[in-house]
Amino acid sequence: MKSGLHQSARLGQELRANPRLYQAMDMLYMPLIDLQQHLKQELLENPFLELIEEGENGDTESEEQSEALDVVAEETSTEAPTDETIDDEAPWEDLLLDGIDQDGVRAPTEVREYVEPVSVEARDLADHLRDQVRLLDLSPRDQLLADEFIGNINDEGYLTATLDQILSGINTVIARAEEASEDDREAPRFTMPEVERMLRVVQSLEPPGIGARSLQECLTLQLPEAGLLDTVAERLIREFFDDLLAHRWVEIGRRIGVAPGEVQAAADAVARLTPKPGLAYADRSADYVIPDLIVEKIDAEYLVFVNDGNLPRLKLSRAYEEVVRDKRKFDAESKEFITSRLSAAQWLIQAIEQRRQTMLKVMHFIVERQREFFEKGIQGLRPLTLREVADAIGMHESTVSRVTNEKFVQTPRGVLPLKFFFSSGLRSSDGDDVSARGIRVAIERMIADEDPYAPLTDQAIVERLERDGVQIARRTVAKYRDQLGVLSARIRKRL
């Protein structure tokens, strides 16, 4: 066998996606706010795009421009360059409003800077703890150790590192500082007693329970503030924590010599403590939702609108249309630039309209399918899958997924994510499908209205749903109950 490099020709076919197809899919995926920023950026970069001003008939004008520029684009892309000289009185660069240099790069005469919107920095739990530490009478050495503790406290308020790890970490910081310093003096290393003392300092900060290493320690730290020292509640946390989590009131009462009802009352007091104290100082910056679609009921009919009033409306620039009509003024390099920019502008306008029509098709089908939801509420929600929508409107399932992802619709029932309308289903006794989301809501309402001294078991819930015509297994009820965060009937029962 002879080794070496060989060259050969092979004829074959392979499927490749056009780069613009990827861009179109990205635009379909974008929520309204992201699309607004994307179009504003395109408007700055492409000289063939301009805004449609209020009062303009953008559709008619854009159609006329598109037809005219299609011809120009075809001519500039197919005709070979000529040796004709460009008119000195009207050079090609001067004809363009914003100008294009010899390299085919846009050179605007007006500086327009795009500023990325940024959120204002919010104070978090670490900032709150550091402010308290600064008010304490601590030496610089202790301040350094306190910062090491604060850096290892998560957003829920728990200490995520062991004391050994904190000791090792702070001494490593000191060692690295000595290596970078020109001072030959060696700083004393921290010891475990110092770390343990600082732990008590950090755990004395607000909110109560901060710096705990477990849920049990977190609740214990909150006992003095809650006034529960020397009570049954304190004994539940310190001595019977596992039994407390399992709601074994009778067994605990027998072991400590009190009535089960008193144990349950003490457990209620423990339940009022905060298991995640750090979340009180979590970032509360508002996440504003702008609905991409609007559903309104007009004359007993539900109509769908695209909420694109604040979306930049783009058209092909009439000024550039006049410029490119005289193809004799362009050299080959200029023609290539014009062709690419013009094609990109036309494609973008078409992609925006395609996105709009696709969203309308999807939402129209959802409204038709979920009409009972709009009339009756959550109980009228029917099961729906992405594939059903895709088959109905003649699109691929992945396209429907992109349309519905991170999109919101304003309806008479509130602002809802499009994913809300999709859920699995169960069969009712009359043959109709019932949405799993509606079943969960029904279970939640049953439990909310139950007698706390005789709570509904999973089997009792099954029997009630069957009386309403819903066929469901007990294990399915248990699964939905777990998803709702509802405990079993034995644990919910009051004594």
* pLDDT tens-digit series, residues 394-424: 888 888 888 888 889 999 999 999 988 988 7
Do 226 and 173 share a structural domain?
A: no
Tokens of 409: 């619709």
- For the chain, give the percent of residues with pLDDT over 90: 29
Residue 22 lies in a domain: no
Residue 192 lies in a domain: yes
Give the range of the structural domain holding residue 440, as residue numbers without chain letter: 425-492
> Of how many residues is the chain composed?
495
Question: What is d(CA 472, CA 469) in angstroms, rounded to the nearest whole number?
Answer: 10
Question: What is d(CA 280, CA 207) in angstroms, rounded to the nearest whole number?
Answer: 8
Tokens of 274: 């905060």
Do 95 and 58 share a structural domain?
A: yes
Average confidence (pLDDT) over 10-20: 57
Do 402 and 306 share a structural domain?
A: yes
Residue 12 lies in a domain: no
Do 332 and 299 share a structural domain?
A: no
Residue 20 lies in a domain: no
Residue 316 lies in a domain: no
* Element housing 51 (H / E): strand 49-51
Do 212 and 198 share a structural domain?
A: no
Backbone angles phi, psi at 225, to 5 degrees: -65, -35
Position 217 scores a pLDDT of 95
The β-bridge partners of 454 are: 451
What confidence category does residue 296 fall into, taking pLDDT thresholds of 50, 70 and 90?
Answer: very high
Average confidence (pLDDT) over 353-381: 89
pLDDT of 15 above 80: no
What confidence category does residue 9 fall into, taking pLDDT thresholds of 50, 70 and 90?
Answer: confident
Looking at the structure of the chain, the number of domains it has is 5
Residue 460 lies in a domain: yes
Average confidence (pLDDT) over 310-315: 78
Do 445 and 409 share a structural domain?
A: no
CB 454 within 8 A of CB 493: yes
pLDDT in tens, 92-102: 333 333 333 43
Tokens of 359: 């969203």
pLDDT of 72 above 50: no
Q: Final residue of a domain: which of 184, 205, 226?
A: 205
What confidence category does residue 273 fall into, taking pLDDT thresholds of 50, 70 and 90?
Answer: very high
Q: Quote the mean pLDDT of the chain.
A: 78
Q: Which residue has the higher pLDDT, 35 or 235?
A: 235
Instruction: Give the amino acid at 89.
Output: E
Q: Whose structure tokens read 């309104």? A: 296
Do 246 and 188 share a structural domain?
A: no
pTM confidence score: 0.59
Position 96 scores a pLDDT of 32
Do 239 and 200 share a structural domain?
A: no
Residue 8 lies in a domain: no
Residue 377 lies in a domain: yes
